[in-house]
Structure 1
Amino acid sequence: MTATLSPAATRRSASAPRGRRAGRMTERWLLFAAALVLTAIVLLPVIVIVLTAFKPAAEINAYPPTLLPGTWTLDNFAKIFSDLPFGRLFLNSLVFAGGVTVFALVFDSLAAYALARIDFRGNRVVLIVIVASLMIPFQATLIPVYQLVAQLGWVNTFAGLIIPRAADAFGIFFLRQFFIALPRDLDNAARIDGAGEFRIFRSIVLPNAVPALLTLAIFTFVNNWNDLLWPLVFTTSPDMGTITSGLTLLTGPSGIIPYGTMMAGSLIAVLPLAVMFLIMQRRFIESVATTGLK
């Protein structure tokens, strides 16, 4: 004998899954709305920079301020190139940040490999000294480094901007920690085949350390591209300045700041970082997914 459900019980059993689905859908929409609000808050400074760059000076200085431009203009972008040698500043920033990044990746990876994969006397002492140097404020070494650069005649040169930053204690420590995690069986197998240390470093360690190298490259490039104090100290000629130091020249003698021109220059300065991130993001994810499979 088969039991049959009443129509009311059937309706209740059918409505229960629908209620759960509706609850899950509502929860997803709430999470989506919260994520949208948080994203808008994080991106608000960037949105203000973008919109201000397209505003005329009268709207920028108007009170109460408005978010959206009433009249869209490209005058601020034309003015940044007429008031400053902006093309030269952009090229200087690219050479400075790119040069420091290339040198740092080379020297930091070599030092990190020696500390992580080669057992030599004093290894631990060298590591302690490198880690301890991270605790020294950057400003404490600025004057001695400047004096050395001036004695070498490197003020207002790319050598003076790049070489003192050609290696970084953080980069060495960061790569060392990554190299330690790589299995040593790879090194031992290569040594049995007759490979030397440099070949092991070039053919085994570096291909498996691409995620760490890309991460360090992004940090190094962004930090030097956005740096203001270092170019201000080591360059006195406008032709050797970078974008960050060049934008400070827009301030008038009475302290008046052309915000529209400043925002236009800042927007152009951000674009290379955004492009670099978009290009390297996919490569970074691919490298993480294939680590150890090469």
Structure 2
Amino acid sequence: MSANTFPLARIVRLSILSLGALVFLAPYIFMVSTAGKAQSDIFTSSLSLVPQQWFYVQNFTKALSRVSMGNLLFNGVIVCLLILAIQVIIAVPCAYAMAKLKFRAARAMMVLVMLGLLVPIHATALPLYVAFDKVGGLNSYFALVAPFTISVFGIFLFLQFFRSIPDDLIHAARLDGMMEVGIIARVIVPNAWPAITAFAIFSVVAHWNDLYWPLIVISNPAYATPPLGLLYFRAAEAGDDYGALMAAALIITFPLVAAFLLAQKRFVEGITMTGLKG
């Protein structure tokens, strides 16, 4: 193989990318390794990724039996899907109006969206908790979903994407007699699937992994989300059984990894196309 096939710049670039991938994959590799180790292997002085005794079956059996793993995953799916569906239903029309309709408050709304990106959930957690407590909304799917139904990040992402859609396409739809709702449903959304997929990955990952808000509003294990259930598993059941704990962590993170791999092409396409908008 000639030297021209792999020039030095390409070798350096691939080496840096491989090193970065290894750094990001290191925690997952450690989880996979620890999930197959016995307790004596985990607390040994030597560091080895290959278990001396293979305890995968025992550790995964403990993870599935000591907590209601099916209920945790079910709650995570329900909460993430409800949040995502409502966010898209609200964000798409808002972004369309700001991108394609002319009205006086457009600039003010854009400023509000940018300011909304700066407000973290931690700043509003206390008043939201008090409000849910007053209406008896704690320990419910409503408490887990309601604070996140409006996503300013989603509005901003879709806004950038919709600006690239030709105005002539929308004008043609109006000449055909479509109302604005019909244009959104039959013209905008079919062309926005890359952006919707990209946003879906961000939204699902954020809320699937969220521990802060469920820890505040949920005390009933029946409504526990995967991270909160993992916390219950570690504190109440497993003790120092880190092999079973890592097995539970692998079960909880696997749906996210699978979903990202399935949607990877759309995700990259959506991020690339959105990033090019002016």
| Structure 1 Cα separation of the partners of residues 271 and 22 of structure 2 | 29
List aligned pairs for 1:1-294, cutoff 5 A.
21-22=2-3, 24-25=5-6, 27=8, 35-73=17-55, 74-252=57-235, 256-284=239-267
TM-score by length of 2: 0.88
Structure 2 unaligned segments of length 5 or more: list them: none
Instruction: Output the amino acid matched with 2:172.
Output: A
> How high is the TM-score relative to the length of structure 1?
0.83
**C-alpha distance in structure 1 between counterparts of 2:52 and 2:166, whole Å:** 61
Identity over aligned pairs, percent: 33
- For the residue of structure 2 that corresponds to 1:224, the secondary structure is helix
Whether the 8 Å CA contact 1:59–1:65 is kept in 2: the answer is: no
> SS where residue 109 of structure 2 aligns?
helix
CA distance in 2, matches of 1:161, 1:289: 31
The whole-number CA distance in structure 1 between the counterparts of 2:156 and 2:6 is 46
Equivalent pair of 1:250/1:257 in contact (CA under 8 Å): no
Cα pair 2:80 2:208 within 8 Å, conserved: yes
| Matched residue type, 1:208 | N
Residue 69 of structure 2 aligns to which amino acid in structure 1? Answer: F
CA displacement at 1:50 relative to structure 2: 0.5
- Residue 123 of structure 1 aligns with an amino acid whose one-letter code is A
Q: What is the distance in 1 between the residues matched to 2:85 and 2:65?
A: 32
Structure 1 runs of 4+ with >6 Å offset: 285-291
Measured after TM superposition, the shift of residue 120 of structure 1 is: 2.2
Change beyond 3 A, Cα 1:116–1:36: closer
Gapped regions of structure 1 (runs ≥ 5): 1-17
How far does residue 286 in structure 1 lie from its aligned partner after superposition?
7.8
Structure 2 SS opposite 1:218: helix
- Aligned-CA RMSD value: 2.6
Any idea what the Cα deviations from partners look like across 1:9-55, whole Å, max 9, x if unmatched?
A: xxxxxxxxx9xx34544746676566544433332211111111111
Post-superposition offset of 1:230: 1.1
Structure 2 contact 198–271 (Cα < 8 Å) conserved: no
TM-superposed CA distance for 1:242, in Å, is 0.9
Distance 2:119 2:19 in 1: 39
Work out which of the two has the higher radius of gyration on C-alpha atoms and give 1 or 2: 1
- Do the aligned partners of residues 38 and 78 (structure 1) sit closer, same or farther apart at CA in structure 2, a change above 3 Å counting? same
SS in 2 for 1:187: helix
CA contact (8 A) 2:195 2:271 kept: no
Amino acid at match of 2:88: L
